[in-house]
Homo-oligomer: A and B are copies of this chain.
């Protein structure tokens, strides 16, 4: 059995390692276009924040280990340029410009997602950089040191943009953030996003929403000018963080079915429309556990889990994934921001009849010192009583708290069910009624 994997990051390497564990006699080949495999992409902003740390710290396992210990045929610098499902072959070219062809019995497309392409003139100037691959991270870090960056503009205000914002501030760089859309964190309920916005601006970061970027040009005195329809921004470094899109070009060209947001359409066994070809990770779609519909939410845990599922399925151990709840957390300065399931707006768009409650609670018990405010938004369906989603922000105790409602979403719990849950209490860790329960207690009155 020849199992070929395109892409050597989370989904690809998870699949490769698990396939070899499952079936050591399988021939498992990974074709990775860069030189880097198995690194923590999500850790890059934190690494960039710390001048003293090497970017290599982020590599979870070196390529040699996969080759020598795991017996994976790992080929870095191998870019796949085409898939021929008829003859079950992939074609490609190496970084040394040698072309190659490889037959497969089973193929996994794990090409990930890439920075959203912008056609704004000047996005290719030196000093304008996305952050997706480890190579990008290394470039940004080197640029900060070598160019003595004092001022940066970040285009985009998503997770990566905000994490980079904090990282650059930690490095003593003045940061401005710009985006075309009118709303800071548009997926977040306004009461909560205001808290995050206040935290970011309190840290000296200037936010400009509703600024359409028209061009980036070299600045007379060195550096760059980011031109928008409202005003110009001058910076030594521009981070382009306007979101990502699935890298599904190979799948498109191979005639595979493409799903929502341009991601490769897969079933619950991660099979594409060709029964020899799987897709997993940021390039593939998934079922949303709340809506039961296809969605594209590229996150690291799903990539790892889907990689494992592919390996099991390729090895004949049928594995089906239920779907995702869109559970996510990030930190920006002292603020922890978390979500799971649908926002009120998303719930309306999905045809639910939702009600939302927004409450304030605290991260520690009444009278316990050092407690912070936790803001919770919770959304439920008036028709069925079902829990639809939860969002949370606060300086303390938010990150892991989101997992209780996440599990409740997977279980299809009603808000009334969630209210019954026996959550942990001790004064240093929260009020007797956990903020999640307080939100649920209030929400049920509106359902």
Contact = CB atoms under 8 A, between A and B. Distances in A.
A407 to B, nearest CB: 4
Interface stretch (A25-33, A92-100, A174-182, A424-432): A424-432
| Residue of A58, A304, A399 with most partner-chain B CB within 10 A | A399
Nearest to A419: B305
Copies in the complex: 2
A329 interface: yes
Nearest to A308: B441
A119 interface: no
A330 interface: yes
Contacts of A399: 397, 400, 424, 426, 428-430
A426 B331 contact: yes
Contacts of A338: 424
Interface residues of A, number: 67
A434 interface: yes
| Residue of A323, A367, A368, A402 with most partner-chain B CB within 10 A | A367
Nearest to A409: B422
A423 B411 contact: no
A107 interface: no
Contacts of A402: 424
Contacts of A401: 400, 403
Contacts of A165: none
A340 B368 CA distance: 24
B422 A302 contact: yes
Given A301-B433, A424-B340, A403 B406 contact: no
B418 A407 contact: yes
Contact of A424 (B43, B327, B413): B327
B327 A423 contact: yes
B426 A403 contact: no
Contacts of A302: 422
Contact of A326 (B369, B404, B422): B422
A433 B46 contact: no
Interface string A312-327: 0000000001111111
A60 B402 CA distance: 27
A109 interface: no
Nearest to A441: B308
| Residue of A302, A368, A425 with most partner-chain B CB within 10 A | A425
Given A331-B429, A400-B400, A432-B10, A368 B43 contact: yes
B426 A406 contact: no
B424 A420 contact: no
Contact of A327 (B340, B406, B408, B422): B422
A427 B43 contact: yes
Contact of A397 (B326, B400, B421, B426): B400
Contact of A367 (B58, B340, B427): B58
Given A365-B43, A400-B401, A421 B410 contact: yes
A207 interface: no
Contacts of A57: 367
A403 B424 contact: yes
Contacts of A421: 325, 403, 406-407, 410
Interface of A: 10, 40, 42-43, 46-47, 50, 57-58, 60, 289, 299-302, 304, 321-331, 336, 338, 340, 365-369, 397, 399-408, 410-411, 413, 417-418, 420-430, 432-434, 436-437
Given A46-B428, A299-B425, A397-B399, 17 more contacts: A10-B432, A43-B368, A43-B427, A47-B367, A300-B425, A301-B433, A302-B422, A327-B422, A328-B426, A397-B400, A399-B428, A400-B430, A403-B403, A406-B421, A406-B422, A407-B421, A410-B417
